[in-house]
Amino acid sequence: MTRSLAFLILVATTAVAQHPASAVEHLIDRESIAGPMSYLSDDLLEGRQPGTRGGALARLYIRTQFESYGVKPAGRDGSWDQPVPIIGITSTVTRALGAVGKNGAAAFTAPTDYTAQAGKPVAGTEWKDAPLVFVGYGIHAPEQNWDDYKDTDVKGKVVLVMNNDPADDPNLFAGKTRLYYGRWSYKFEEAARRGAIGCVVIHTTPSAGYPFQVIQATHGRERFFLPFDDKTPTLSIRSWCSNDAAVKLCKLGGFDLDGLRKKAETREFSPVELGVKIDLATKNRVREIQSANVLGKIDGAGPQSDEVVVVTAHFDHLGRGRPVQKDEIYNGALDNASGSAALLSLARACSHLPSPPRRTILFTAVTAEESGLLGSLYFARHPTVPRRKMIANFNIDGINIWGPTKDIAMIGHGKNSLTDVADRVAKRRGRVLVPNPEVDKGLFYRSDHFSFARVGVPSAYFKAGHDFYERASIRRRVKLSYTGTHYHQPSDEFDARWNLDGAVHDVRLMLECLLTVVGADEEPRWAKGDEFEKLR
């Protein structure tokens, strides 16, 4: 660390000397983050997939760390765990994707061209001579006067759908800011509601925010679901395809994909029957798994002690999968051993507060985030505390491993009053809170804080900044290369050379935000007119 950087950090530290966080923030240091991060991402834990020995070891480690800090168990019946029932489905293609149209036939190879995953827990699923329908973005949004399906009957058919949501008009779908309508999970949900038997999402790197290799890594892997019910419609098979494969599918019916895309950018778009029939079949191994969220708490004291601020981080990752350079363990060091380590570091610091907090702090390490935020979704649906008493959620999913920055980014900036809290804290620390610069990736809907927002709890999620104090251009390039190179790949491994000074500064800022909310007179609130305001 250079002398000038050390001086800037000293000035920022001096500015917060009177805040309650100042008494304990020294406990958040490189070692308190690097140690848990290194262990949780070690090959010994085999990628921490739910239902595996590695996943169980991760839970054991987290709860023993909680216990060593003096944090109290907050799970079921006085335990550390909130059991989460999970259905695991592993799909194997038994009849490869094939398509026939007026311009001929084509065969496709998985996972080069497409992926296939059963959408329900049955021994076998298939599309047999299923008509293929292009449905644009596949969005039904009455408040936007937008309906891509119109009155088209897609029952028993497969829909081909674009990822993302319309972005050209700032008055529609928040412009370039991706909403939940733009998420792949919404595409599958809406297609199922319409009675389709399948949905194929067209992958492009700009629309997904990551390369096709990330999608390919999920093919043939066990995927997880919360228990199914008879009321929620499902798809037989959920699929992604490459852009090249989508172009070929459309050409078989005599259509140009780019031309279809252009038409899909307006409200007037109607689904297009492509004149193509497709076949695909899978056999599926289905099993019931008991995973769990790990819960620890620090009790509040006083009249507001029954109010709860929840801190979350997911401990799971992808386990073993398709080998890359002979490495089959997807360690998930940054995603999300790092967030789990930060959560533990926050718990350690809060356990040493000189006096009890005003409100209760609930530290929740959640399972199965990588399969659709399942652990946090289960907690939000079955909270261990009254839902109305949960006043805020701070979520951690990936931390700064590239070095200190003057700025720190907030996902969902401006959506609720936690933005104001974070802005004041950042200024007190000589830093700058900035909106997420990658609004087109829809990050607000991609991590565990979204589960809390869906039940009305104001949530905050921070990401590393870009304004590095030192070697800024080099560090920005390295940071930006993570998604394309290491995200959801075996190469996401702990590296002792990482500069965790940035993580320390960011987690200390989170600590001050957390304790500010815990001790505030007023509860956080959603911004007027926000999509989640009515849920509170």
| Residue 292 belongs to a domain | no
Residue 296, SS3? strand
| Residue 78 belongs to a domain | no
Q: Residues 216, 185: one domain?
A: yes
Q: Residues 281, 429: one domain?
A: no
3-state DSSP percent of the chain in helix, strand and coil, to 5? 35, 25, 40
Q: Residues 108, 238: one domain?
A: yes
Q: Residues 142, 243: one domain?
A: yes
* CA dist., res. 525 & res. 415, Å (int): 9
pLDDT of residue 18: 72
pLDDT of residue 2: 58
Q: Residues 210, 123: one domain?
A: yes
Domain count, the chain: 2
* CA dist., res. 40 & res. 46, Å (int): 9
Q: Residues 65, 96: one domain?
A: no
pLDDT of residue 6: 53
| Residue 76 belongs to a domain | no
Q: Residues 367, 281: one domain?
A: no
pLDDT of residue 490: 96
- Which residue range(s) make up the domain with 412? 3-70+299-535
Q: Residues 17, 42: one domain?
A: yes
Q: Residues 395, 474: one domain?
A: yes
pLDDT of residue 7: 46
| Residue 291 belongs to a domain | no
| Residue 79 belongs to a domain | no
pLDDT of residue 448: 97
Percent of the chain surpassing pLDDT 70: 97
- Residues of the chain predicted below pLDDT 70: 1-17
Rounded to the nearest 5 degrees, what angle is found at the Cα of 449, between the Cα atoms of 448 and 455? 110
Q: Residues 22, 99: one domain?
A: no
| Residue 504 belongs to a domain | yes
Q: Residues 525, 408: one domain?
A: yes
The owner of tokens 């949900």 is 189
Q: Residues 408, 441: one domain?
A: yes
Mind listing the pLDDT tens digit for each residue in 192-226?
999 999 999 999 999 998 999 999 989 999 999 99
| Residue 77 belongs to a domain | no
Q: Dihedrals φ, ψ of 475, to 5°?
A: -70, -35
Query: Which residues lie below 8 Å from residue 433, measured CB to CB, with a gap of 6+?
Result: 407, 408, 409, 410, 413, 419, 422, 423, 426, 427
Q: Residue 93 is part of a domain; what is its CATH number?
A: 3.50.30.30
